[in-house]
Amino acid sequence: MPRDASDRERTRSCVIGTVHRRSKAVGLLVSDFRGYPRRISEKMIDIRAWAEYIVEWAAKDPYGFLTTVILALTPLFLASAVLSWKLAKMIEAKEREQKKKQKRQENIAKAKRPKKD
């Protein structure tokens, strides 16, 4: 809630998407479509600060950083390998089925031809 009259006026007069900074402890005031303020926490992800933290972490502790990245990505690599293997098996089975159908059609066509004696 706005603390004083100036905050109320600023909140009422703001356009959708306009952000008013208050104190870090309170957070941000953002007006919704009706003009009523809603709070957004200061702790929301700040991309630039997060990227700077990651770069700083990688520079200070490269082995720990790489270990963490590899451990985080390993399950994704395993899932990718399993799904690729399953897809390859499905494609091979489909190709075998198509070969069988083609061979069957050729045999049917051969059987329908009139025999020359």
Q: For residue 23, what pLDDT is reported?
A: 42
Q: Would you kindly state where each structural domain of the chain is located, as residue ranges?
A: 5-40, 47-112
Per-residue confidence (pLDDT) for residue 87, from 0 to 100? 98
- Inter-residue contact 35 to 11 (CB < 8 Å): yes
Mean pLDDT, range 21-29, rounded to an integer: 46
Please give the radius of gyration of the chain, using alpha carbons only, rounded to the nearest integer: 33
Q: Where are the beta strands (DSSP E) in 1-117?
A: 19-21, 28-31, 37-40
Residue 29 and residue 18: Cα distance in Å, rounded?
Answer: 9
Please check whether residue 11 is in contact with residue 38, taking contact to mean a CB–CB distance below 8 angstroms: no
Query: What does the pLDDT look like over 40-98, one tens digit per residue?
Result: 555 556 888 889 999 999 999 999 999 999 999 999 999 999 999 999 999 999 999 99
Query: Would the pLDDT of 37 be above 60?
Result: no
In the three-class reduction of DSSP (H, G, I as helix; E, B as strand; rest coil), residue 17 is classed as: coil
Residues in the chain: 117
Q: Please, which residues have CB within 8 angstroms of residue 36's CB and are 6 or more apart in sequence?
A: 11
Q: Residue 10, Cβ neighbours under 10 Å: how many?
A: 17
